[in-house]
Amino acid sequence: MARVLIIGAGGVGQVVAHKCAQVDEVFEHITLASRTKSKCDKIAAMLPRKIDTAEVDADDVPQLVKLIEKVKPDLVINVALPYQDLHIMDACLEAGVHYLDTANYEPPEEAKFEYKWQWAYQDKFEKAGLMALLGSGFDPGVTSVFTAHAKKHHFDRMQTLDILDCNAGDHGLPFATNFNPEINIREITANGRYWDNGQWVTTKPLEQKRVFDFPEGIGEKDIYLLYHEELESLSKHFPELERARFWMTFSANYLKHLEVLQNVGMTGIEPVEFHGQEIIPIQFLKALLPDPASLGPLTKGKTCIGNIIRGTKDGKDKIYYVYNICDHQACYREVQSQAISYTTGVPAMIGAKMMLEGKWMKPGVWNLEQLDPDPFMADLNRYGLPWQETWLDQAFQ
The correct pick among 39, 237, 310, 328 for binding ligand NDP (CB under 6 A) is: 39
Please give the Cα distance from 135 to 140 (Å, whole number).
Answer: 5
Please give the Cα distance from 84 to 103 (Å, whole number).
Answer: 10
Residue 79 touches ligand NDP, criterion: CB under 6 A? yes
> In residues, how long is the chain?
397
What is the DSSP code (8-state) at residue 191?
P
Residue 187 touches ligand NDP, criterion: CB under 6 A? no
Residues 98-127 that bind ligand NDP (CB under 6 A): 102-103
Closest CB to ligand NDP among residues 139, 232: 139
The correct pick among 3, 22, 26, 35 for binding ligand NDP (CB under 6 A) is: 35
Evaluate whether 271 touches 108 at the Cβ level (below 8 Å).
no
Given the rule CB under 6 A, which of 75-83, 90-98, 295-303, 388-396 is the region that contacts ligand NDP?
75-83
The correct pick among 73, 141, 351, 364 for binding ligand NDP (CB under 6 A) is: 141
3-class DSSP state of 361: coil
The correct pick among 137, 169, 311, 373 for binding ligand NDP (CB under 6 A) is: 137
Residue 292 touches ligand NDP, criterion: CB under 6 A? yes
Residue 395 CB partners (closer than 8 Å, separation 6+): 160, 308, 310, 319
Closest CB to ligand NDP among residues 53, 344: 344
Closest CB to ligand NDP among residues 281, 345: 345
Residue 11 touches ligand NDP, criterion: CB under 6 A? yes
Please give the Cα distance from 285 to 208 (Å, whole number).
Answer: 26
Closest CB to ligand NDP among residues 140, 364: 140
State the SS3 of 104-126: CCCCCCCCCCCCHHHHCCHHHHH
Residue 281 touches ligand NDP, criterion: CB under 6 A? no
Residue 194 touches ligand NDP, criterion: CB under 6 A? no
The correct pick among 67, 80, 234, 248 for binding ligand NDP (CB under 6 A) is: 80
Residue 384 touches ligand NDP, criterion: CB under 6 A? no
Given the rule CB under 6 A, which of 23-31, 43-51, 115-123, 137-145 is the region that contacts ligand NDP?
137-145
Question: Does residue 384 come out as left (phi exceeding 0), alpha (psi in the -120 to 50 range) or beta?
Answer: left
Given the rule CB under 6 A, which of 11-19, 156-164, 210-218, 381-389 is the region that contacts ligand NDP?
11-19
Please give the Cα distance from 263 to 349 (Å, whole number).
Answer: 39
What kind and span of H or E run contains 334? helix 328-335
The correct pick among 4, 5, 6, 13 for binding ligand NDP (CB under 6 A) is: 13
Work out whether the CA dihedral 76, 80, 86, 91 comes out positive or negative.
negative
State the SS3 of 235-302: HHHCCCCCEEEEEEECCHHHHHHHHHHHHCCCCCCCCEEECCEEECHHHHHHHHCCCHHHHCCCCECE
The correct pick among 144, 147, 167, 344 for binding ligand NDP (CB under 6 A) is: 344
Residues forming contacts to ligand NDP in the complex (CB under 6 A) are: 8-13, 34-36, 39, 56-59, 79-82, 84, 102-103, 135, 137-141, 179-180, 183, 292, 344
